[in-house]
Amino acid sequence: MSDTAFGAASTTDEVLEGVDLAGKVAAVTGGSGGLGLETARALAAHGAHVVIAARDPQKLDDAATSIREAHPDASIETLVLDLADVSSCRRAAISLLTATDRLDLLINNAGVMCTPFGRTVDGFETQFGINHLGHMAWTVPLLDLLSRSASPESPSRIINLSSAGHRFGDVDLDDLNYENRPYDEWAAYGQSKTANILFSVELERRLAQLDVRSVAVHPGGIHTDLGRHMTSELLTQLQDRIAESNPGGDFSWKSIPQGAATTVWAATTPSLASSAGVYCEDCGVAKASDDAEASAGVESSAVDPERAAKLWDLSMELLATV
């Protein structure tokens, strides 16, 4: 099936039909449940050796068992990773580097949404700290392995899960950690998801010549435990935003296999083998759209290379303090 045949309703198994990932190694954060578990299952079902990373050892074991029960030949490992603790991120990266001599796919899937105001172990605002800085602390030590595993014919790929929620808040380069402005759950979530896109843009700029591609992905609207922190008021606000962005009432929730489809598409499609640094949704590359009421597309500021470079520098400075 060609890339153009895939869309919002496609599932992971449909996207990966006929794809052979034997010999490939993939790491998936948040792999113990939801989209991460489905992503790990689908990749393992098609021959990849998959390392699932999350903070709860029991949930990791349960996830690995569920994949092996569905696919007895699946090659699965687990790795403890707490994205709210930079030291844990660095330890997990070292453990992965020790355990494998290649890494073809890095799927940064884990995240939190609309948490009450708080700070990570290292003092970073929770959503920015987990969704962006934690993944950056985990990813940067793995870049050399990704590049050594790549070739022009078979580039390595980094997939960073973002969201249409990036429209809820831009990155404030002068106050990333909410030290000088009132906290708003949606704006903080939007900032962290915009940061995921900018991180992908800068990774592409830095690594493209090393045959490492980087992509940001919006999975769509899916019922998972990502929204576990949301109050009834926040849920109402989300419903109102969805209604405003879809005045025709054509919004559709996705199943988990549909939600994870864009991730595995971005990780395997030949169309992104030579050029990436893009934002994808519904198994395709999204167009730029600065319409405040748009329900699709990516804001131009979220793919601005100058802002991406600045965020990289500021983030590295923050991580250097830990």
Q: What is each CA distance from 86 to 18, 123, 129, in whole angstroms?
A: 38, 10, 9
- The pLDDT tens digits for 55-80 are 999 999 999 999 999 999 999 999 99
Q: Which residue has the tokens 């960073």?
A: 160
Tell whether the model's pLDDT for residue 248 goes beyond 60: no
Q: Which of 100, 101, 166 is nearest to 131 (CA)?
A: 166
Rounded Cα gap, residues 263 and 161, in angstroms:
8
- The beta strands (E) that lie in the chain are given as 25-29, 49-54, 75-80, 105-108, 156-161, 212-218, 278-281, 284-285
Q: What is each CA distance from 248 to 9, 251, 252, 275, 296, in whole angstroms?
A: 19, 8, 12, 35, 14
Do 273 and 213 contact (CB within 8 A), yes or no? Answer: yes
Tell whether the model's pLDDT for residue 202 goes beyond 50: yes
Tell whether the model's pLDDT for residue 240 goes beyond 60: no
Q: Which of 217, 222, 224, 221 is nearest to 283 (CA)?
A: 217
Do 7 and 38 contact (CB within 8 A), yes or no? Answer: no
Tell whether the model's pLDDT for residue 237 goes beyond 80: no
| 149: CATH | 3.40.50.720
Mean pLDDT of 212-225: 89
Q: What is each CA distance from 175 to 116, 128, 182, 195, in whole angstroms?
A: 18, 11, 11, 13
Rounded Cα gap, residues 100 and 266, in angstroms:
23
Model confidence at 22, in pLDDT bands (50, 70, 90)?
very high
Do 290 and 156 contact (CB within 8 A), yes or no? Answer: no
Model confidence at 226, in pLDDT bands (50, 70, 90)?
low
Tell whether the model's pLDDT for residue 277 goes beyond 80: yes
How large a percentage of the chain has pLDDT more than 70? 90
Mean pLDDT of 197-211: 97
Q: Which residue has the tokens 């844990």?
A: 88
Write down the mean pLDDT value for the chain. 92
Secondary structure class of 107 (helix, strand, coil): strand
Mean pLDDT of 280-307: 91
Range of the domain at 247: 3-320
pLDDT of residue 227: 60
pLDDT of residue 163: 95
Rounded Cα gap, residues 45 and 315, in angstroms:
36
Q: Which residue has the tokens 């020790």?
A: 98
Tell which wins on pLDDT, 234 or 43.
43
Residues tagged active-site: 162, 189, 193
Tell which wins on pLDDT, 230 or 259.
259
DSSP 8-class letter at 33: S
- The pLDDT tens digits for 98-141 are 999 999 999 999 999 999 999 999 999 999 999 999 999 999 99
Out of 12-16, 33-37, 132-136, 242-246, pick the least confident.
242-246
Number of domains in the chain: 1
Q: Which backbone phi and psi does 214 adopt, to 5 degrees?
A: -135, 135
Report the DSSP beta bridge partners of residue 161.
217
